[in-house]
Structure 1
Amino acid sequence: MDQLSAMRTFVRVVETGNFTRAAAALSIPKTTVTNLVQALEAHLRTRLLNRTTRRVTVTTDGALYYERAIQILSELDELDGSLTNSQAQPSGRLRVEMAGAFADTLVIPSLCDFYLRYPQIQLDIGVGDRLVDYLAENVDCALRGGTPTDQSLVTRKVGEIRLSCYAAPRYLEKFGMPQHPLDLTASHFCVGYLMVPSGKVFSMDFRRGDESHEIEPRYVVSVNDSRTYVKAAIAGMGVAISAPYFVKEAVEKGELVPVLTDWQCESIPLNIVYPRTRHLSNKVRVFVDWLVKLVHDLDKDSPAEERFTQAPAKMQRR
């Protein structure tokens, strides 16, 4: 038995929840996964997993073995990486999740540059604002706006995004121009952004000098996707807050106009997150470093009203 392979296989079965997903994540046959786990159990003379036709659960011994195994494998990967990362060209598939707005306006337009730097990395980009099961879906990292509350995730800040307020001309023709943030709770409607997994609607924080207001939006529609959120605002469903960079085209076309321009909206952090139990591979490292530089360059080259800012962010999101 290759004990190291068996240990890695067992860890992946625990993380994904069944043998089929573990086999897919490891790109090996399911029978190989089964044989490796059985051989490991025989070697240790204890049962690590309880199996039924529907699910796989970890035994008490299995849970203890898993905790030690991930530490050993992480240290081994770190040791290997410390000797090879400086010489080896990053390669392999990299699975990244991000919101559609980030993909469309930030990452995709600059991907040719990333490919020229790292031609041996194959990027699989999942687009959406949904809640991700990083281990079961074999996701390496995600680009997220806001500070994750999940303590199992490691967070690295990439930058911050300043938000501004917008509405469609058709909405303003019907409801008029809001004059104060408190109007958004009294005589106006907003487009609600539904956060995953809390199910709460994103609050709007405004500040002008010493005056500040946290607004709980009054809405007739809420969505949980960033691109759909902008589309709803363009359709005249209410006032919305967004990064100027994300709505630049809509503003240029006259589909959205800035509102409450004498108020500053709270900025939100832009982070890369990944599971704490997963070793940060060289391909993830170079992708994160590339993103940090990309955001920095955009901040330097963009007009002031579109920049990723360095203002402190207080909001806890996602």
Structure 2
Amino acid sequence: MQPLSHLESFLRSAESGSFSAAARQLGLTPAAVSKNVARLEAGLGLRLFQRSTRKLTLTEGGERLLQQISGPLGTLADAVAGAAEANRQPAGTLKVSMGQAFGREYVVPLLGEFLARYPGVVPDWHFDNRQVDLIGEGFDAAIGGGIQLTPGVVARELARIHVVAVAAPRYLAGRPAPAHPSELAAFDSIVRRSSPTGRLRSWTLRSAAGEEAAVEGRPRVIFSDPEAMCRAAMLGLGIALVPMPFALPGLQRGDLVRVLPGWYADSGPLSLYYPSKKLLPAKTRVFIDFVVERFRAQRFAERMQGACMAPA
């Protein structure tokens, strides 16, 4: 029978596509992981990977082995981890990815309470406005929207995020308030450029009654960052269409007001992503439960809705 360490090194390397990523997950050196896989190949008399300087590619035999062992090995590893942690307090480094502005505004304020509950956990939080490879980069969890689910990752929805039109009160002073999205063409627009595509974002707003209308503003400023768009709107530079997580702080302070209240666009879910293990490490499990609990207590999902006339 092959040693469990050899099989686990193979499994992690196959999932992440590199010995280095597998080594980070297992707490080994890349050389040790490579040696474990080589010993497994020698014991089986079978080549499992095609190796190149850039990545690992499974052979046909490697694909068969991965399908046969991934489920049973994952169950065994989870059972061992669960037994080891049954009588221990959650502990260890908790590596989480989240957006910069979102993390600062909504997650960092929860940190004090989380640390008081779980003093053995050390948050290692990465504030990145990008989609991370949860498994390949060794993250315990991630919070974000529009993240593509990869094998071995599941998502728990926290809220549907609505996009709303906002402006500074002084920008709207003395102007007739628009009553329909078509009237935004007469106003300066703070427009968002999509970082992945380089294109200007366009939105179709819908009313609480279900009417839909495309927005055609007059571009005055173009930014790739919604937080910067909100700041420009606060300066009175025009009307911005931004997701509610970015608009809400300014709306609550009175620095921004809703334009076309009741009209919004749905930009999809904001979710908590984590590995799809039956028995998660205690540090990851308590973090997931804590975030879900606190967001629910704060009525986060309701506050992200743009159909209401004013923020809760």
| TM-score normalized by the length of structure 1 | 0.78
What is the rounded CA distance, in whole Å, between the counterparts of 1:10 and 1:133 in structure 2? Answer: 18
Deviates more, 1:186-195 or 1:96-105: 186-195
Cα distance change of structure 1 residues 78 and 307 upon mapping to structure 2, 3 Å threshold: same
Report the counterpart of residue 274 of structure 2 in structure 1. 274
Pair 1:174–1:122, CA change in 2 (3 A): farther
SS of 1:241's equivalent? Answer: strand
Structure 1 residues 248-274: Cα deviation after superposition (integer angstroms, max 9, x where no partner)? 2476373x3321125355485331123
In 2: Cα distance, 1:116 partner to 1:241 partner? 34
Asked if the contact 1:167/1:240 (under 8 Å) is kept, the reply is: no
1:150 to 2:149 alignment: yes
Q: What is the aligned partner in structure 1 of residue 310 from structure 2?
A: none
Contact (CA 8 Å) 1:41, 1:47: kept in 2 or not? yes
**Map of 1:314 onto structure 2:** none
Cross-structure match for 1:240: 241
Partner of 1:15: 15
Q: Deviations over 1:196-249 (max 9, x none)?
A: 5897836353313242335477755241x4433433444526422332675424
- The whole-number CA distance in structure 1 between the counterparts of 2:82 and 2:24 is 28
Secondary structure of 1:261 counterpart: coil
CA distance in 1, matches of 2:284, 2:196: 24
1:127-175, CA deviations, whole angstroms, 9 ceiling, x for partnerless residues?
13312222221122211235x5536441112234555421245754798
Given that 2:190 and 2:229 are in contact with CA atoms closer than 8 Å, whether structure 1 keeps it comes out as no
Percent identity (aligned): 31
Q: Residue 90 of structure 2 aligns to which amino acid in structure 1?
A: P
SS of residue paired to 1:189: strand
Matches of 1:310 and 1:213 in 2, distance apart?
15
Structure 2 unpaired stretches of 5+: 308-312
Counterpart CA distance in 1 for 2:202 and 2:88 is 43
Q: Report the Cα distance in structure 1 between the residues aligned to 2:284 and 2:68, rounded to whole angstroms.
A: 24
Aligned to 1:315: none
Alignment partner of 1:307 is 2:303: yes
C-alpha displacement of 1:43 = 1.2
Letter in 2 for 1:307: R
* Superposed CA offset, 1:28-47 (max 9, x none): 22321221111111111111
Q: Which amino acid counterpart does residue 260 of structure 1 have in structure 2?
A: L
Determine the C-alpha separation between the residues in 2 that align with 1:227 and 1:69: 45
Match of 2:286 in 1: 286
SS in 2 for 1:208: coil
Contact 2:156 2:273 in 1 (8 A): yes
Partner of 1:137: 137
Instruction: In structure 1, give the amino acid aligned to 2:23.
Output: A
